[in-house]
Amino acid sequence: MIRFDHVSAAYAAQTPVVRDADFTIEDGEFVAFVGTNGAGKSTTMRLCNGLLKATEGRVLVDGTPTTELRTSELARRVGFLFQNPDRQICCKTVREELAFGFRAQGALTDEARARVDATIERFGFDAAAEPYLLNRGTRQLLALASIVVMEPDTIILDEPTTGLDFRECEKVMGVIADLHARGTTVVMVCHDMEVVADYAERVIVMASGEVVASGPTFEVLRRRDVLERAGLVAPQVVDVSMRLVERHPELAATPIARANTLDEMTAAIEAYVAEAKEDPR
Ligand X SMILES: Nc1ncnc2c1ncn2[C@@H]1O[C@H](COP(=O)(O)OP(=O)(O)OP(=O)(O)O)[C@@H](O)[C@H]1O
Q: Tell the smallest beta-carbon distance from residue 39 to Mg ion (Å).
A: 8
Kindly state the DSSP code that residue 58 receives in the 8-state scheme. E
Q: 202 burial class (0-12, 13-18, 19+ CB within 10 angstroms)? A: middle
Report the residue number, 42 or 49, with the smaller CB distance to Mg ion.
Answer: 42
Report the residue number, 42 or 138, with the smaller CB distance to Mg ion.
Answer: 42
Report the residue number, 79 or 241, with the smaller CB distance to Mg ion.
Answer: 79
Residue 39 contacts ligand X per CB under 6 A: yes
Kindly state the DSSP code that residue 106 receives in the 8-state scheme. S
List the single partner that 15 binds among ligand X, Mg ion, none, CB under 5 to 8 Å by kind: none
Chain Cα centroid distance, residue 10: 22
Report the residue number, 163 or 216, with the smaller CB distance to Mg ion.
Answer: 163
Q: Which of 239, 243, 256 is nearest to 194 (CA)?
A: 239
What is the DSSP pairing of strand 2-9 with strand 30-34?
Answer: unpaired
Choose which of 2, 8, 31, 35 interacts with ligand X (CB under 6 A).
Answer: 35
Report the residue number, 41 or 223, with the smaller CB distance to ligand X.
Answer: 41
The vertex-227 CA angle with 226 and 228, nearest 5°, equals 90
Kindly state the DSSP code that residue 129 receives in the 8-state scheme. S
Task: Considering only the stretches 36-44, 65-73, 192-200, 268-276, report the one whose residues sit in contact with ligand X under the rule CB under 6 A.
Answer: 36-44
Kindly state the DSSP code that residue 145 receives in the 8-state scheme. H
Choose which of 8, 42, 49, 154 interacts with ligand X (CB under 6 A).
Answer: 42
- Exposure string of 264-281, with b = 16+ CB inside 10 Å and e = fewer, is ebbebbeebeeeeeeeee
One symbol per residue from 60 to 89: x for binding ligand X (CB under 6 A), - otherwise; what is it?
-----------------------x------
The vertex-158 CA angle with 113 and 134, nearest 5°, equals 55
One symbol per residue from 17 to 56: x for binding Mg ion (CB under 5 A), - otherwise; what is it?
-------------------------x--------------
Report the residue number, 227 or 268, with the smaller CB distance to ligand X.
Answer: 227
DSSP annotation string for 17-47: SEEEEEEEE-TT-EEEEE-STTSSHHHHHHH
One symbol per residue from 133 to 162: x for binding Mg ion (CB under 5 A), - otherwise; what is it?
------------------------------
Segment 1 to 20, residues that bind ligand X, using CB under 6 A: 11, 17
DSSP annotation string for 172-187: HHHHHHHHHHTT-EEE
Choose which of 37, 63, 225, 275 interacts with ligand X (CB under 6 A).
Answer: 37
Choose which of 16, 40, 50, 85 interacts with ligand X (CB under 6 A).
Answer: 40
Q: Which of 233, 229, 235 is nearest to 207 (CA)?
A: 229
List the single partner that 43 binds among ligand X, Mg ion, none, CB under 5 to 8 Å by kind: ligand X
Q: Which of 152, 10, 131 is nearest to 81 (CA)?
A: 152
List the single partner that 132 binds among Mg ion, ligand X, none, CB under 5 to 8 Å by kind: none
First to last CA, the chain: 54
Q: Which residues bind Mg ion (CB under 5 A)?
A: 42
Q: Which residues bind ligand X (CB under 6 A)?
A: 11, 17, 35, 37-43, 83
